[in-house]
Amino acid sequence: MLVLSRKKNESIVINDDITIVVVEIRGDKVRLGVEAPKEVPVHRREVFDAIRRSETAVGKKAAGEAADATEPTGEA
């Protein structure tokens, strides 16, 4: 992990097209501004984790339904 020190209004550039700016520092909280292309999703970690959990649950459900559909029913 790269660790950097930044002051208010200073920024970090990632891959020429993503900029992270320190917008405000208040006590132990820092507000960041993120400029990124629309096709680059940007989420807080807790939101990202919730999205992943949801995708995993949907994927498991779909896989279970597919397995149920391929099992023989035993009916003749």
Q: What does pTM read for this prediction?
A: 0.68
For 10-48, the pLDDT digits (tens) are: 999 999 999 999 999 999 999 999 999 999 999 999 999
Q: How far apart are CA 41 and CA 56, in angstroms?
A: 18
- Burial of 52 from C-beta contacts in 10 A (0-12 / 13-18 / 19+): exposed
Residues 4 and 23 sit within 8 Å (Cβ to Cβ): no
Cβ contacts of 8 within 8 Å, gap of 6 or more? 22, 23, 24, 25
- In this prediction, residue 74 has a pLDDT band, given cuts at 50, 70 and 90, of low
